[in-house]
Amino acid sequence: MLLIKNGRLLDPASKTDAALDVLLDGERIAKVGAHLSAPGADLFDAKGLIVAPGFIDLHCHLREPGQEMSETIETGTRAAARGGFTAVCCMPNTQPVNDSASVTRGIVERAAAAGSVRVWPIGAASMGSKGEALAEIAAMKAAGIVAVSDDGKPVATARLMRQVMDYCNALDLPVMDHCEDPSLFAGGVMREGAQSMRLGLAGIPAQSESICAGRDVEIAGLTGARLHIAHMSTRGALEYVRAAKKQGLRVTSEVTPHHFTLTDEDVRYDTHYKMNPPLASREDRDALIAGLADGSVDAIATDHAPHHPASKDVEFDRAPFGITGFETAVALGLSELVHPGKVSLMRLVELFTTGPARVLGLERKIAPGEPADLTIFSDTHEWTFRAAESASKSHNTPFDGRAFRGAPMATIVAGRIAFRR
């Protein structure tokens, strides 16, 4: 038994924000109340800290199987725990692609053996994510996937998307799409605009994302399926999501910490500023923050994309896209959204808990009988992030050396402390 005392409990599901203690019994929450006592229980003093439901990351890359030089399920989930996440959804673009039940089972088994947090795999929508035939989605669902996606690229055609959505609708799985029009993307390496012009880097227009988001929303309307727009970075895509929600379509979206923190103006000849979708314009960034605040955006997802140092230590246009994100996500949410007053603390917790849970068709709350997954964080703790001290195998982040106010202090998964600062 573990008793978490003296904390400020924030539970979006019940709109609770009060000084309450939580008693965990094994893998479940036993009791929630004021001034609890449990003789014989281990004690966690959460004085000055915030106790929240376990944070969920809808979008990450754990690189196993196949790219263990960059990350493994063991190192990736350790980094996730340090970032306050109790569950992470890993994208299927591994080697081989997670397009079959056997790969899914491998991930699930590996996570059970070596994972610090829960790992919820996402299966490929098409075989090999090649955009041709459908993957064995039902078999993967039986093996444990929570959604499908061809992440890294969009579901190739509107027709395929229609099939995937129809099929997944019947299976009650959300379809997550990486929105991008390949012909407009055209070898670009950053957002098209004044900065890409100045740096002489090939630009990707914002419409590359919004055109594809528009297509997806149309097909969600056609099929009635659950559509989730991954790592949304533009106002154009956000407007499609807003309109879809207004129509009552089951369309959700996520935004990454780097897209609400940085803009294309921050891009330099440093491959730690190269990600896909690329850092957007200031107008887009501000629109995304408004969307996070008003509920148009459902979740903050890291798109944790580790790359081995040698692969990033190259010319900008030859580097792979992506940055790590687990260990800076919560701190960026606090520093960029909560402290400046753009998003309330309760809303931020929603974006990490009930929001992503709803995308997956789950609930997330602190109540007796619920899984003992909790994230305990501070909104005042001052610290500096050092990529070299990260648990991830890769250190490709633009936030190395950044000072923060607020940090995850402990991550409790199934009643067990997976990380404690």
Partner 1 sequence: MLQRLPHLLGIETLTSEQITFFLDQSKPFQEFQRHPLKKLATLRGRTVALAFFEPSTRTRISFSTAASRLGADTMQLQAESSSLKKGESLIDTVRTLEAMRPDSIVMRHSSSGAPAFVAERLGVPVVNAGDGTHEHPTQALLDALTIRDRKGTLEGWNITILGDILHSRVARSNIFLLSKFGARITLCGPAMWLPREVESLAPGLRRTSRTEEALEGADVVMVLRVQTERIHEPALAVEDYILGYQLTAKRLQLARPDALVMHPGPMIRGLEIDPSVADGPQSCVLEQVTNGLAVRMALLYHLVSGAAADAPHPTKE
| Contacting residues toward partner 1, per CB under 8 A | 192-194, 196-203, 269, 310, 313-318
Nearer of residues 316 and 326 to partner 1, judged by Cβ: 316
d(CA 83, CA 304): 11
In 143-169, which positions are buried (b, 16+ CB within 10 angstroms) versus exposed (e)?
bbbbbbbbbbbbbbeeebbbbbbebbb
Q: How far is the CB of 201 from partner 1 (least distance, A)?
A: 5
Calpha distance 236→36 (Å, rounded): 49
Q: Which two tokens stand for residue 101?
A: 């039940």
Helix (H, G, I), strand (E, B) or coil at 421: coil
Instruction: Name the minimum Å distance from CB 203 to partner 1.
Output: 8
Min separation Cβ 285 and partner 1, Å: 18
**Peptide bond just before 65 cis, omega within 30 deg:** yes
Which of 238, 186, 237 has the alpha carbon at shortest distance from 212? 237
Shortest distance in whole angstroms from residue 315 CB to partner 1: 4
Select 120 or 316, whichever has its Cβ closest to partner 1: 316
Which three-class secondary structure state does DSSP give residue 136? Answer: coil
Per the CB < 8 A criterion, the answer to whether 328 and 257 are in contact is yes
Q: Cβ closer to partner 1: 8 or 312?
A: 312
Least Å from the CB of residue 68 to partner 1: 20
Q: Express the helix, strand and coil content of the chain in percent, nearest 5 each.
A: 35, 25, 40
In this complex, which beta carbon is closest to partner 1, that of residue 246 or of residue 318?
Answer: 318
**Owner of token pair 């190739």:** 156
Displacement of CA 119 from its chain's centroid (Å): 12
Mutual orientation of helices 282-294 and 345-352 as an angle, nearest 10°? 90
Q: Please name which of 220, 224, 288, 222 lies closest in space to residue 257, comparing C-alpha atoms.
A: 288
d(CA 106, CA 98): 9
Catalytic positions, written as ranges: 303
Kindly tell me which of 44 and 273 has the beta carbon lying closer to partner 1.
273
Question: Least Å distance between CB 195 and partner 1?
Answer: 8
Q: Which is nearer to partner 1, 196 or 208 (CB)?
A: 196
Q: What is the DSSP letter of 336?
A: I
Beta strand ranges found along 264-402 (DSSP E): 299-300, 374-384
Radius of gyration of the chain (CA): 20
Cβ pair 372, 365 in contact under 8 A: no
Name which of 12 and 193 has its Cβ closer to partner 1.
Answer: 193
Measured from the CB of residue 25, what is the shortest distance to partner 1 in angstroms? 54
